[in-house]
Amino acid sequence: MNFNGRKKITSGVDRVTASNVIDVLADALSIHLANKMDIEYLYNYYKGQHPVLQRTKERNDFVNNKIVENRAYEIVKFVTGYRVGNPIQYVSRKADSIITDDVTALNDILYEKSKAKKDIELVQWQSICGTAYRIVLPLDEVTLITADPRRTFVIYSADVFSRPLAGVYYTEDSDGNVTFTIYTDTEVIVVYNTDVVSVEPHLLGAIPIIEYPSSEDRLGVFEPVLPLLDAIDTVDSNRIDGIEQYIQNLLVLYGVDIPKDETASTMRKKGVLVLPSQDGAGGKVDVKMLSEQLNQSDTQTVKDDMYQSVLRIVGMPSMSNGNSSESSNNGAVMYKNGWSQAEARAQEFERMFDEPEMTTVKLILSYLDRTTDIHLKGRDIQVKFTRRNYEDIVSKATVLTSLLNNPYVARIDAFTVCGLFPDPEESCRRGLEWYEESATPVEEVTEEEVTEDEPVSV
């Protein structure tokens, strides 16, 4: 199979309505089903179902090991943990105590809804198949659902604006009947097989199914290195074959006739290979062990080279650079072992994640605005990734101290620049409150207040 990322689903209609939904759905499904086949393959690959498990051998087929070294699983777990292992936070973009309090309340609500766990599920799907989907519904304040991309898709307009026209998810019963639920920005349309069964308006204000593509080409993180991962599996399998064949080496009897009650195959099962005498051999008999062995060091060199290529392509750091003397300087290790490349990929991911996440934020805020005392706008909030807060913490604390001691630098700028705090605005505000509470003024005692009967305590 040839993997080049998932194809974006588009339609030439201006709006999806009950009158055109069947035709739009039919066109969209042709693309979605092709994407689904790729997603199924990549998901199964991530779980360990690799092509090496179906390999066959033309010769020596009695030794055919099938070894899966599941580097795809390793890549997905590293990328997911590195990018969203620490919860994504919403922070205030304005120095306004009311907005800051509302943002804190919003984070508290989403904490109760296990948003951090839902983010991990979302990014894991992104990493596996190149895209992911989140459904936001106004159930019990707000409900976040990480949808299966094999049964969910978004249809976009085919024009330059690429507007979301509809979000679709579907279910299939045991008899193969499919129920589609199609959300536009104003209606929810239910289609059973090829019939429209209901059309109802909704007051959500937007399409509640939001796509989170990992990149414009919608590539999974290990998708570009599938040939290398397959080659590593093949090398591992052949190495084990070589070891097994060496252990099960044959005793070669040269110049000996096969006994009448034996055949070549039965002799081989007994670990003996008999080569009958040939004319002109002079009756010479020889006994040897057939013990040719695979060169393990050369094989390991090839495997290491392929694995390092995988790491460079996917942007993962190397756990070891082959040098026993590691620098204790965090910055040096970051650049020497490839962590800077991982960080660059993570920052690119953040920019791709921001747009759909802000769509999610606006939906959540519209729900909360009608049902709670939280009244925020999307422009009041910034999405903050917190994974780097405690890297090189001593240097960051030094920067903070230096900036706070500089009379020309505003306090909030010092908190923002140092990179210590996921929410610099909130941290600065709480710091000032703590300073004011803990700073107890010392009352000066004048000479007139001091008497002989009341000694001054030192």
Quote the DSSP letter at residue 59. S
- Tens of pLDDT, residues 188-241: 999 999 899 999 998 888 999 999 999 899 999 999 999 999 999 999 998 887
Cα distances from 156 to residues 138, 214, 308, 331, in angstroms, run 24, 17, 38, 43
Confidence band (pLDDT; 50, 70, 90) for 455? low
Token couple for 223: 């998708």
Cβ contact 5:217 at 8 Å: yes
Predicted confidence at residue 458, as pLDDT, reads 44
CB of 9 closer than 8 Å to CB of 153: yes
Reported pTM: 0.79
For the record, the structure tokens of 414 come out as: 């010092």
Band the pLDDT of 274: cuts 50, 70, 90: low
pLDDT grade, residue 318 (50/70/90)?
confident
Worst-scoring range by mean pLDDT, 114-123, 302-311, 325-334?
325-334
415's tokens: 């908190």
- Distance from first CA to last CA of the chain, Å, rounded? 84
Average the pLDDT over each of 186-200, 274-288, 389-403 and give the range with the smallest value: 274-288
Pairs from 145-149 (Cβ < 8 Å, separation ≥ 24): 145/118, 146/118, 146/121, 146/122, 147/209, 149/35, 149/39, 149/125
